[in-house]
A and B are shown apart, each in its own frame.
Chain A
């Protein structure tokens, strides 16, 4: 059972454009929603995270939008750069369940010149 559904599977964006990746979750008890970025040959690394008490969190060019009623959250990458080309994973977890992250299936982003 896929508890976190992620789309699209792949995405091609021109340099300077906006990249948008969407995730939907099923378990309403989830209360921590991170995004991880993975470059080829490397392990995933935390990019940005949000809790359901806020609807948006911004860090530089990266923004998470959270819609609790729709059980959806998304990652927006503004002014996308070739260096942003990577695979992005959304995830979700429950408070008190340490290390129990449930990941989406990943989105491979390619930013072209």
Chain B
């Protein structure tokens, strides 16, 4: 089954404790993105990647890091999480700039 998977689905952590949210796709897509979804703000792009080792900032990259060492994986790293990073995070992948396939989401709470 073609899909985008994210882990963990739910995470509660404390301020400053480094964490990684993994994202993997099995559709051989070149493009992958991370978004955060907040009430009243919609979906905002954090980072995106056009291929292995090629990444670029989205609209809200502060406080986040990404890496793309393999085509299928695109982890999101929060080096020192803060409460304002409490959000619902989505990974997405696509072949081009058309349809993006979204993962099921990761709900992160930073206390």
Contact = CB atoms under 8 A, between A and B. Distances in A.
Instruction: Please say whether chains A and B are actual partners in one complex.
Output: yes
Interface in A71-113: 89, 91, 93-106
Given A43-B102, A44-B90, A98 B42 contact: no
A99 B40 contact: no
A42 interface: yes
Q: Size range of the interface on A?
A: 20 to 34
Among B43, B50, B99, the most chain A Cβ lie within 10 Å of the Cβ of B43
A49 B92 CA distance: 17
A6 interface: yes
B45 to A, nearest CB: 7
A42 B105 CA distance: 7
Contacts of B41: 105
Contacts of A45: 101-102
Contact of A98 (B31, B44, B59, B104): B31
B53 to A, nearest CB: 15
- The secondary structure that dominates the A interface is loop
Contacts, number: 73
B40 to A, nearest CB: 6
- The secondary structure that dominates the B interface is strand
Given A32-B97, A97-B97, A105 B50 contact: no
B45 A105 contact: no
Nearest to B41: A105
A3 to B, nearest CB: 9
A9 interface: yes
A46 interface: yes
Nearest to A3: B59
Interface of A: 6, 9, 32, 34, 41-46, 49, 89, 91, 93-106
